[in-house]
Amino acid sequence: MEAHLQHLLNAVVLGGTYALLGIGLTLIFGIMRVVNFTHGELYTFGAYMAYMLAGMMGLNFFMSLAMAAVLGMALGALIEFTLLRPLKGADIDTTMLVMIGAGIAMQAGEQLVWGGVAKSVPSPFPTEPVVIGSVSVGMNRLFVLGVALLLLGGFYLLINRTKLGVAMRATFQDPDTAALMGVNRGLMYTLTFALGSGLAATAGALLGPIFVVTPTMGDLVALKAFAIVILGGLGNIPGATIGGFVLALAEEFGAGYLSSGYRDAMGFILIIAVLIVRPQGLFAMKERIG
């Protein structure tokens, strides 16, 4: 029983960050329809910014997190402005190739600036874990889960309940009509990409202190983010949230009870199984790409 509970707790904590990555990408891939290969690199960027601000410059940890998120948004806006804007109207393959190139260039850049050796971000939390009955969890992980849940709720409200959210959704459903209604389309594109990128950078900055920071840390993460988005249904924020938690549960219990060496394979096996039964994902929107 104790083992089940510990695995469950591990999965919930991990699921929070997966969900954060998932909603960031679902904004860009699901709503904007950009196959974004820079998502994992934005995650890495966020982690390195946290390392630079909190680790090298000695700034306050929470301040550094906020700044890493803002810098991630700024980088996202820059990518949209310089790479995606000139490609407006280009077919999906062209955009995808440009984004693959951008992802590779960013990873090479990170390697050049920071070197290949792992960095560690100092964490302000005590190493003593929080003990609940027979299970325990690190304070830093609880903090990550808390921030993730806050952001998940916040973004759900932003997209579904605010005027800005309506404008964003309208822009990607029917750009011309949205423009006629007075929506600034260019601004919406940049803003959506920046928000999605900011979420990836936040996830990286949050997880930096828990894991170690390396230039290739975003590779597997990007793959998982795509899986989560597809699992939850494109462009669906609650879907991506649930998809994140489902993936974490599959990995954690698969590794705990089946085979730990193939932990990362477990999640993808589950995704293949889901897509065979429900090709549109668990919580799909009515229409799909392509």
Partner 1 sequence: MRTMKTTALLLSAALLAPGVAFAQETIKIGVTQPLTGAVAASGNYVANGARVAEEVVNANGGVLGKKIQLIIEDNKSNPKEAVASAEKLIVRDKVPVLMGAWSSTFTLAVMPKLVEYGVPMVVETSSSTKITTSGNPWVFRIAPTSAMEAKSFAEKLDHFQPAIQKADFLAVNNDFGRGSAEEFRKMLQAKGVKIGVTETMAPEATDLSAQLSSIKQSGGDTLFVTTGVEQITLILKQAAELRLPHRVITNGGSSSPDQLIAQAGAAADGGYFTLFFAPWFPEKAVHPTVAKSFVDGWNKKGYDFAGLTEGYRGYDGIMTIVEAIKKAGKAEPQAIRDALWTVKLDGVNGDIAFKKDGPEGKESGQNEANVYVVQVKDGKVTMP
Residues forming contacts to partner 1 in the complex (CB under 8 A) are 2-3, 6-7, 10, 14, 111, 115-118, 120, 127, 129, 131, 136-138, 141, 210-212, 214-217, 219-220, 251-253, 255-256, 259-264
Nearer to partner 1 (CB atom), residue 87 or residue 130: 130
Nearer to partner 1 (CB atom), residue 81 or residue 114: 114
Provide, rounded to whole angstroms, the least separation between the CB of residue 47 and partner 1: 11
Residue 212: CB atoms within 10 Å: 15
> In this structure, what are the phi and psi dihedrals at residue 150, rounded to the nearest 5 degrees?
-60, -45
Provide, rounded to whole angstroms, the least separation between the CB of residue 180 and partner 1: 48
CA–CA dist 30, 238 (Å, integer): 13
- Which run of H or E residues covers position 137? strand 135-137
Q: Report the C-alpha dihedral over residues 154, 65, 39, 45, rounded to 10 degrees.
A: 170
CA–CA dist 44, 36 (Å, integer): 14
Nearer to partner 1 (CB atom), residue 78 or residue 142: 142
Nearest to 25 by CA among 193, 178, 183, 157: 193
Nearer to partner 1 (CB atom), residue 137 or residue 284: 137
**Which amino acid, 71?**
L
Provide, rounded to whole angstroms, the least separation between the CB of residue 254 and partner 1: 8
Are 195 and 74 in contact by the 8 Å Cβ rule? The answer is no
Provide, rounded to whole angstroms, the least separation between the CB of residue 48 and partner 1: 15
Provide, rounded to whole angstroms, the least separation between the CB of residue 117 and partner 1: 5
Nearer to partner 1 (CB atom), residue 134 or residue 160: 134
Provide, rounded to whole angstroms, the least separation between the CB of residue 139 and partner 1: 9
CA–CA dist 127, 168 (Å, integer): 42
Provide, rounded to whole angstroms, the least separation between the CB of residue 96 and partner 1: 24
Nearest to 256 by CA among 47, 4, 16: 4
Nearer to partner 1 (CB atom), residue 177 or residue 259: 259
Please list, in sequence order, all residues whose beta carbon lies within 8 angstroms of the beta carbon of residue 120, skipping any fewer than 6 positions away.
51, 55, 209, 212, 213
Nearer to partner 1 (CB atom), residue 80 or residue 252: 252
Specify whether the backbone of 58 is left (phi greater than 0), alpha (psi in -120 to 50) or beta.
left
